[in-house]
Amino acid sequence: MARSELTLGRADAQKVVLVMTDGIPLSSRSTWIAATRLKRQARLMFGAVKLNSRGLRYMQAWGSSPARENVLRINSFRDLESLNTIDSLISDMCKNVAVPRAASSGR
């Protein structure tokens, strides 16, 4: 599904797929195959929520290199409500983030 969405983006934009997960998949082999194919077209990042060290090792193997920039450890689901967490995800995904100016007050 993620691969089909990649065709919809701007041609000049870096392709990034962010997978949010709280566990390891049923088939690590199938996931490895899918991740390998996907990384040919896009940067593959993982947001790992409450994963233990075994789960993190899988995500580090499947994600793009370097792992420290592409596997983001998230301590709890509650952290996903935090703007700091979201800002961190966005800044890790995008090199240039444009912050829109506040709407003019009409003056």
Tens of pLDDT, residues 48-59: 999 999 999 999
Over 70: is that where the pLDDT of 101 sits?
no
Please state, in angstroms and rounded to a whole number, the distance separating the CA atoms of residues 24 and 32. Answer: 11
For residues 74 and 96, the model is more confident at: 74
The CATH class of the 2-93 domain is alpha beta
Inter-helix orientation angle 53-62/28-38, to 10°: 40
Average pLDDT, the chain: 86
87/33 Cα distance (integer angstroms)? 30
Between 86 and 65, where is the model more confident? 65
Question: Which pLDDT value is given to residue 100?
Answer: 67
Mean pLDDT of the region 56-75? 94
* Contact status, residue 44 vs residue 63, Cβ threshold 8 Å: yes
> pTM value?
0.80
| Amino acid letter, 76 | S
* 25 contact partners, CB below 8 Å, separation of at least 6: 31
Q: What's the mean pLDDT in 26-55?
A: 94
- State which amino acid sits at residue 65: S
